[in-house]
Structure 1
Amino acid sequence: MKSYFNGVVLSSFLGKFTSVRMVSKKGSAISFIEYKLLEKATDSFHESNILGEGGFGCVYKAKLDDNLHVAVKKLDCATQDAGREFENEVDLLSNIHHPNVVCLLGYSAHDDTRFIVYELMENRSLDIQLHGPSHGSALTWHMRMKIALDTARGLEYLHEHCNPAVIHRDLKSSNILLDSKFNAKLSDFGLAITDGSQNKNNLKLSGTLGYVAPEYLLDGKLTDKSDVYAFGVVLLELLLGRRPVEKLAPAQCQSIVTWAMPQLTDRSKLPNIVDPVIKSTMDLKHLYQVAAVAVLCVQPEPSYRPLITDVLHSLIPLVPVELGGTLRVAPSGPPADSTIPSGH
């Protein structure tokens, strides 16, 4: 595997550890990293090194030899579900290599605990950037569009270029990680499934409130359009700076989709609900275009939602060239004019 990670050739990094063959669909060899090494690298999993928390454990920042920083996900696998998610994630990520999917470096085990080692994403998650202490202040309009484009590219790879296709099943802002340059990468593949799995429609309902597509919630029907719905919710988070579900009262919650939908299609109301942080940095025409894409993605009827490829092509003209799109931004003044390809 010749893949670059923070300027280090991964093959030489992985060569330091015991390489063992795990059961994998394509028989990929995955590096096993000694538990003691991870224990030392995380200062015995000290709470000061916690980067985030998930359903089955925490993610820690770790410093390995050669001053290389990585992220270590610690999973309590005493339950069958946690063990299954660990195996699923390692199995899938060992065969997925894409600039917009987080890079798997290795794994470890100790008693009932399992560990997955990834590249470190310095700017943590989109969720933390948008809803944490900074409230999105580091994310300009163009940076948010870049993150949306990167996320779409990662999803397109899963849906269109993996064989069999992969449905992420838990796309959300906390599973979109950002590196030092705010390049976005999809993470957390514990719930992901391959399209065509025999038990696809008999899966235990999983996902996160606010991101789960209505047809999956109501009928258990899961397709790549379920990921497109979740992407639409993330796009709304980027536009509005709001969480996907907000508490109105102790027993009352409101989804961002229900709240925003009537205003997203009203050009006079839309600018008033945009995240105040980006109001002065955006081109109104581009705002209307992105809102139209978001509206299509969160349609209740999956057949009305676009394919992620269509979404990708509609976002490329809105992202500056230096951030991975095709938009040429004038040295001063508002962004140059651009249009969404017809038919979306």
Structure 2
Amino acid sequence: MAKVCSKLLFLSAICIFIAQAFAQPNFLYHFCLDNGNYTSNSTYKANLNQLLSSLSSNTEIDYGFYNSSYGQNPDKVYAIGLCRGDVKPDVCRSCLNNATNLLPLLCPNQKEAIGGYDYCTLRYTFRDIFGIMEDSPALYMWNNNNVSANVDQFNQDLRTLLDSQRVQAAKGGSLRKFAAGNATAPNNQTLYSLVQCSPDLSEQDCSGCLAGAMGDIPKCCDGKQGGRVIRPSCNFRYEVSLFYDPTGISVLSPPLVPPVSPSPPSTNSPAAKGKKSNKSLIAIVIVVPIVAFVVLIISICIYLRIRKPREQPESDEAVDEITSAEALQFNFGTVRVATDDFSDANKLGQGGFGAVYKGKLSNGQIIAVKRLSRDSRQGDQEFKNEVLLVANLQHRNLVRLLGFCLERTERLLIYEFVPNTSLDRFIFDPIKSVFLNWEKRYKIIEGIARGLLYLHEDSRLRIIHRDLKTSNILLDSEMNPKIADFGLARLFALDQSEENTNRIVGTYGYMAPEYAMHGQFSAKSDTFSFGVLVLEIISGKKNSCFQHGENIDLLSYAWKNWREGKALNLVDSNLKAGSTTEIMRCIRIGLLCVQENVADRPSMASVVLMLNSYSVTLPIPLQPAFFMHSNIESDTSSQWEYDPKRTDSDQSKGSLV
């Protein structure tokens, strides 16, 4: 009887939560991300339940931002709850409680999910998302009514209003990054808008996230009286009627509009146009019988239920960022079982530093395991320090290091599994390259640029990658790029601009001239490699073995055609349907990045701005550094190493590592 009753109670709970979803007039969206699953009796599920049950329970926190984690790797769960900046604390907590109950039901067994109402959003995942700007998946919604006249002026007024709010929100503190206000639109209309970021973002990341979201207005809301773009890390909304509570934002910022509350026009997604007038009636019809059913079940079974007190979540110390390498250590036996004893069937590839294997942990999580060569001269402590360094780099365009294993002569690095292998397997393959249209290639270029910007400027560490190339760019299930392989990366002090080395290791064709010839490297060395990548992505050809009717490298060919006004000769024939203006702009950015003089190359911050804003005027590129060494046959998958202090005859014997 107890088991039957327990099942009935579970069923009734599901009914309640589904009824709540219909009953909530402001329920918006949910995304169940395909980044791994958990089972109903797994540790991950238990950790998720514990975390969500306690997420918004701290009644002392009244600013509407809740971020916490629970458990230990690899079953650790991270969650962020964020309420709209004008929402009162009790409404905020009620909204988040509904979301924490509903989202796991809408996304059963998915380790990562995002959902939201008008008043709040909820995210949970198996990876650390705190302080990391993420711009996908994105949701577009719009008002059905069109702007009646002066659309260009309306758009200009909207842009001015949103830009001012973007600056204001980005300057907000760790409690709130939110701004709301109004402006006068054509025909004496009042235009209302609000913008918001997750408060754990830096000022630069918040501004960048909102700028990117606002750049999507032409995709969804152009000429509409209202619209919104919702991203995981930020969102904005605008209407010609007041849709937020101005009294709710007076605590942290003065009210910007008079306290009136006309009914806002409906803002609809493509799947939800029309029929909202019947929603309340539908909710009543569904909810009333369900509630009666639940009350009956509870009345019969309540004496069989023994409520156990909830365990308290782990202390704050347990959810702090990693402070020791030991927190990341995997058992060798666990990894060996996951990879079927490193079987050839699970082998993904072989690089200069070891083989990579696909594995599956007992909880179902798919991993990639790099088994480093046993002749490494690196000590155990140095290896742990390097692991700790890479583990603290968290960005959606960097491959995430999950942990490591160090046992006797075995050194293993455990990464998130990225299903679509590396960029070179697509871009240089005559069959697969067809699937990379210009939109996808542009997305890849943008993602690589953002990842490099994070390494150079936005992380607490300043990292120079030194080996950026197509085989070190991995592609996830949605073809988002992730920079991988930090085996050659160097840590810079925050105020350090360059460094010299006598041991030059890298990949021929991607090395900046000052590094290849003199051992000098800096962030601008990575910029050079990025420029080569951009030109390769556009042309579909390798720089190091490019031929076009004569023995000439890709940079020389690109420069020659640019000077002659024939830059489109460089473009992959598969991209003829792409945006010519955008392609030409990217060719120009690529040429700016490979200029011979280090000082002439843009920083990655400038590159990201060039890619995201057409209002930025691009400089005229100067001559790039050419690599016209016809006697050297190079493969982009190999590493090139030489010592500048050796004689010319010795240098010609440069070793591969």
Q: 1:342 to 1:273 in 2, by over 3 A?
A: closer
Q: 1:301 to 1:242 in 2, by over 3 A?
A: same
Q: 1:29 to 1:83 in 2, by over 3 A?
A: closer
Q: Contact conserved, 1:175 with 1:187, CA < 8 A, in 2?
A: yes
Opposite residue 73 of structure 2, the aligned amino acid is: L
1:194 has 2:223 as partner: no
SS of alignment partner, residue 65 of structure 1 = coil
> How far apart are residue 12 of structure 1 and its match?
4.5
> How far apart are residue 132 of structure 1 and its match?
3.8
> How far apart are residue 298 of structure 1 and its match?
0.4
SS of alignment partner, residue 78 of structure 1 = coil
Shifted more, 99-108 versus 78-87: the winner is 78-87
Q: 1:52 to 1:146 in 2, by over 3 A?
A: same
Pairing partner for 1:221 from 482, 504, 520:
520
SS of alignment partner, residue 398 of structure 2 = coil
Corresponding residue for residue 372 of structure 2: 75
Counterpart CA distance in 1 for 2:415 and 2:34 is: 10
SS of alignment partner, residue 435 of structure 2 = coil
1:261 has 2:559 as partner: yes
Higher relative contact order (CA 8 A, sep 6+): 1
Q: Contact conserved, 1:158 with 1:166, CA < 8 A, in 2?
A: yes
SS of alignment partner, residue 121 of structure 1 = coil
Q: Contact conserved, 2:325 with 2:384, CA < 8 A, in 1?
A: no
Q: 1:133 to 1:67 in 2, by over 3 A?
A: farther
Corresponding residue for residue 62 of structure 1: 359
Counterpart CA distance in 2 for 1:90 and 1:199 is: 23
Q: Deviations over 1:64-100 (max 9, x none)?
A: 1122111111101323169899556413212111111
Paired residues for 1:6-45 under 5 Å: 6=35, 12=71, 14-15=73-74, 27=324, 30-45=327-342
SS of alignment partner, residue 500 of structure 2 = helix
Corresponding residue for residue 61 of structure 2: none
Q: Contact conserved, 2:498 with 2:521, CA < 8 A, in 1?
A: no
Counterpart CA distance in 2 for 1:79 and 1:198 is: 29
Q: 1:199 to 1:263 in 2, by over 3 A?
A: closer
Counterpart CA distance in 2 for 1:208 and 1:82 is: 25
Q: 1:171 to 1:36 in 2, by over 3 A?
A: same
Q: Deviations over 1:98-156 (max 9, x none)?
A: 11111111111243221101111111111111124634122110110100101100100
Pairing partner for 2:505 from 196, 201, 206:
206
Q: Contact conserved, 2:428 with 2:541, CA < 8 A, in 1?
A: yes
> How far apart are residue 312 of structure 1 and its match?
0.7
Q: 1:157 to 1:215 in 2, by over 3 A?
A: same
Q: Contact conserved, 2:423 with 2:471, CA < 8 A, in 1?
A: yes
1:316 has 2:609 as partner: no
Pairing partner for 1:285 from 569, 572, 581:
581
Opposite residue 528 of structure 2, the aligned amino acid is: Y
Q: 1:341 to 1:109 in 2, by over 3 A?
A: same
Pairing partner for 2:532 from 205, 210, 233:
233
> How far apart are residue 220 of structure 1 and its match?
0.9
Shifted more, 40-49 versus 168-177: the winner is 40-49
Q: Contact conserved, 1:75 with 1:86, CA < 8 A, in 2?
A: no
1:104 has 2:401 as partner: yes
Counterpart CA distance in 2 for 1:276 and 1:292 is: 19
> How far apart are residue 264 of structure 1 and its match?
3.3
Q: Contact conserved, 1:35 with 1:110, CA < 8 A, in 2?
A: yes
Q: Contact conserved, 2:447 with 2:481, CA < 8 A, in 1?
A: yes
Q: Contact conserved, 1:177 with 1:185, CA < 8 A, in 2?
A: yes
Opposite residue 213 of structure 1, the aligned amino acid is: A
Counterpart CA distance in 2 for 1:263 and 1:340 is: 25
Q: 1:48 to 1:13 in 2, by over 3 A?
A: farther
Structure 1: tracts of 5 or more residues without a match? 18-23, 318-338
> How far apart are residue 303 of structure 1 and its match?
0.5
> How far apart are residue 247 of structure 1 and its match?
6.9
Pairing partner for 1:139 from 432, 436, 441:
436
Q: 1:155 to 1:85 in 2, by over 3 A?
A: farther
SS of alignment partner, residue 353 of structure 2 = coil
Q: 1:262 to 1:26 in 2, by over 3 A?
A: farther
Counterpart CA distance in 2 for 1:49 and 1:81 is: 27
Opposite residue 540 of structure 2, the aligned amino acid is: G
Counterpart CA distance in 2 for 1:60 and 1:211 is: 26
Corresponding residue for residue 591 of structure 2: 295
Counterpart CA distance in 2 for 1:253 and 1:30 is: 52
Q: 1:199 to 1:275 in 2, by over 3 A?
A: closer
Structure 2: tracts of 5 or more residues without a match? 1-32, 38-43, 45-68, 77-320, 620-657
Q: 1:283 to 1:254 in 2, by over 3 A?
A: same
Q: Contact conserved, 1:76 with 1:82, CA < 8 A, in 2?
A: no
Shifted more, 184-193 versus 28-37: the winner is 28-37
Q: 1:13 to 1:175 in 2, by over 3 A?
A: farther
Q: Percent identity?
A: 35
Counterpart CA distance in 1 for 2:325 and 2:408 is: 24
Q: Contact conserved, 2:368 with 2:416, CA < 8 A, in 1?
A: yes
TM norm structure 1: 0.81
Opposite residue 6 of structure 1, the aligned amino acid is: N
Counterpart CA distance in 2 for 1:200 and 1:286 is: 35
Q: Contact conserved, 1:49 with 1:61, CA < 8 A, in 2?
A: yes
Counterpart CA distance in 2 for 1:215 and 1:102 is: 28
Aligned length in residues: 309
Counterpart CA distance in 2 for 1:97 and 1:289 is: 30
Q: Deviations over 1:290-344 (max 9, x none)?
A: 1110010000111110000111111125xxxxxxxxxxxxxxxxxxxxx351255
Q: 1:12 to 1:139 in 2, by over 3 A?
A: farther
1:168 has 2:455 as partner: no
SS of alignment partner, residue 520 of structure 2 = coil
Q: Deviations over 1:24-70 (max 9, x none)?
A: 99646542111122112112212222222211211111111122111
Pairing partner for 1:148 from 430, 445, 450:
445
1:244 has 2:543 as partner: yes
Counterpart CA distance in 1 for 2:593 and 2:322 is: 31
Shifted more, 117-126 versus 85-94: the winner is 85-94
Counterpart CA distance in 2 for 1:72 and 1:261 is: 40
Q: Contact conserved, 1:240 with 1:274, CA < 8 A, in 2?
A: yes
Q: Contact conserved, 1:42 with 1:63, CA < 8 A, in 2?
A: yes
1:123 has 2:420 as partner: yes
Q: Contact conserved, 2:609 with 2:616, CA < 8 A, in 1?
A: yes
TM norm structure 2: 0.44
Counterpart CA distance in 2 for 1:76 and 1:104 is: 18
